[in-house]
Amino acid sequence: MFNDQIKTASSLPHSLYRAQQIKEFEGAAAELSGFTLYDLMKSAGKACYQVFKARFPSARKVLVFTGCGNNGGDGYIFAAMAKNAGLDVQLCQIGDPAHFSNDAQRAKKTWQQGQGTIETIEQANLTSADVIVDALLGTGLSGSLRSEFNSLITKINQADKPVLSVDIPSGLNADSGAVNPVAIKAQATVTFVGLKPGLLTGAAVDHCGQLYFSGLGISEQFADLAVSDSTRVSYQDLTYLLKKRCRSSHKGQFGKTLIIGGNIGMPGAVRLAAESALRSGSGLVKVLTRFDNQTAVIAGRPELMLQSFSENCAPQDLFGDWPTALVIGPGLGLDSWAQGLFARVISAELNCVVDADALTLLARKPVNKDNWILTPHPGEASKLLGASVAEIEMDRFSAVRRLQAIYGGIVILKGAGTLICDGNRIFVANVGNPGMASGGMGDVLSGIIGGLLAQGLNSLDAARLAVCIHGDAADLATQQGERGLLASDLFSYIRKLVNP
């Protein structure tokens, strides 16, 4: 369907690059490859046309919106190819042509030499178009849009037509994924040279649609010049961590996970985390919970062990030398019972996962430790950073870096396009689906992480693999649809995925 330069969701590049890096190094990469920047523009337009034909094979009328930058030049090349193929193409330009680069001017002349006309935005026939091509703004966007772009993008979105965006949907920040109050909602986006991190996380994923990538023939040379500090990660990349077990294996070789939580009236969260640890392969799993919750926790899952906690017990009596890994937070609560448990975990030297209510307690008295994994969603991250959820979501990359710098260890910022930061690199796991927006999903993730830690994986590997297993299990569990998906529906698929 596509030439070998175009990659789809399952084969997108792993390394991610900021917009400034593309601008800085694409010229040198092109020169090393024997191309000019105009050659790249022609290749970009061609890649867009290939995706257009594959995605919208029956489309006959195309409305192309171009800006004055190189993104607009790509749009002119696309328009010329579509017209030459016999399609009915209307091209409308916004902005001052005097600001065109030389390459964009050349692309514009190519369109005009083929008897293509350039019309104003006011002349755009949105109602008759089969597909709209968004070549308005490229990756250089920073700050707010000018009013004329706001007005046009609003009209495009209201037209309810399929949109193909060139490089990035107009209104998105390529680095942070921040979405302007008005931004294109595309059905497909074709991005070039280097995969931009902002396309993969937060609200931006609602605007990109299906993502396609073309290196334009220079991606290898570009990667030799630019240094990436963030990486896309998937389950397939990490299955090597799930070693085949020897036939003589016994439960003592695969770790002991202690799940701490389940305050009064909240046995479900800790039970979900505990069963997830079991399904992830932990040899033994014990639940430390309120005495009144023990029957509810163990009902239907007799493989779990139980422990209760008295606030008067000595610290050394709580854990002893039993656990290999700790998970604290699911259903923990915030009362004195919860605070007493959290204080003991803070002083322990064991590998630890901190989730849910334990993150709220941590936000009240910040501590920095190297041997824990924090798993906040944006609401919990806002407490940890003293920022609003909106501020977190405007730049999730910056937020996860700040979280790691303040609290240490490994930080997982959950959400669409989950981010995992170890202080040096950020890993992006664009996994899962909207069905995961239901109670208990975070508890399942913390249990998977704890189970993998108990089996000997280091913190970064356990975090990355657990996030991918969690998301892929949720995808496998949507056979009957996303709406109504329960956290416990993931258990059988978790077991499947830890046995590649």
Q: How far apart are the first and last CA of the chain?
A: 30
* Domain stop point among 228, 248, 272: 228
Is residue 219 located within the same domain as residue 285? no
Same domain, residue pair 45 and 112: yes
Give the residue among 180, 178, 177, 184 at the shortest CA–CA distance from 67: 184
Same domain for 336 and 410: yes
Distance CA(426)–CA(7), nearest Å, equals 22
Task: Establish if 1 belongs to a structural domain.
Answer: no
pTM of structure: 0.95
CA torsion sign, 251 to 300 to 472 to 444?
negative
Range of the domain at 36: 6-228
Residues 370 and 484 grouped into a single domain:
yes
Q: At what angle do helices 37-55 and 70-84 cross, to 10 degrees?
A: 50
Q: Is the separation of the CB atoms in 185 and 206 below 8 Å?
A: yes
CATH of residue 470's domain is: 3.40.1190.20
Side-by-side strand order, sheet with 163-166: 6-7, 210-214, 188-192, 163-166, 131-135, 61-66, 88-93, 118-119
| CA distance linking residue 194 with residue 175, whole number of Å | 12
Task: Judge if 407 and 445 occupy the same domain.
Answer: yes
**Is residue 10 domain-resident?**
yes
Q: How many domains would you assign to the chain?
A: 2
What does the block give as tokens for 57? Answer: 């094979």
* pLDDT tens for each residue of the chain, 500 residues long: 344 478 887 789 999 999 999 999 999 999 999 999 999 999 999 999 999 999 999 999 999 999 988 999 999 999 999 999 999 999 999 988 777 889 999 999 999 999 999 999 999 999 999 999 999 998 877 767 888 899 999 999 999 999 999 999 999 999 999 999 999 999 999 999 999 999 999 999 999 999 999 999 999 999 999 999 999 999 999 999 999 999 999 999 999 999 999 999 999 999 999 999 999 999 999 999 999 999 999 998 999 999 987 666 655 567 778 999 999 999 999 999 999 999 999 988 889 999 999 999 999 999 999 999 999 999 999 999 999 999 999 999 999 999 999 999 999 999 999 999 999 999 999 999 999 999 999 999 999 999 999 999 999 999 999 999 999 999 999 999 999 999 999 999 999 999 99
Task: Give the residue from 368, 378, 456, 453 showing the smallest Cα distance to 409.
Answer: 368
**275 within a domain of the structure (yes/no):** yes
Q: Which residue, 228, 263, 290, sits at the end of a domain?
A: 228
CA separation (Å) from 147 to 181, 315, 328, 347, 407?
12, 62, 49, 55, 41
Q: Which amino acid is at 493?
A: Y
Q: How far apart are CA 449 and CA 465, in angstroms?
A: 8
Shared domain for 224 and 273, answered yes or no, is no
Which of these three, 204, 228, 252, is where a domain ends?
228
Q: Closest Cα partner for 50 from 15, 29, 19, 77?
A: 77
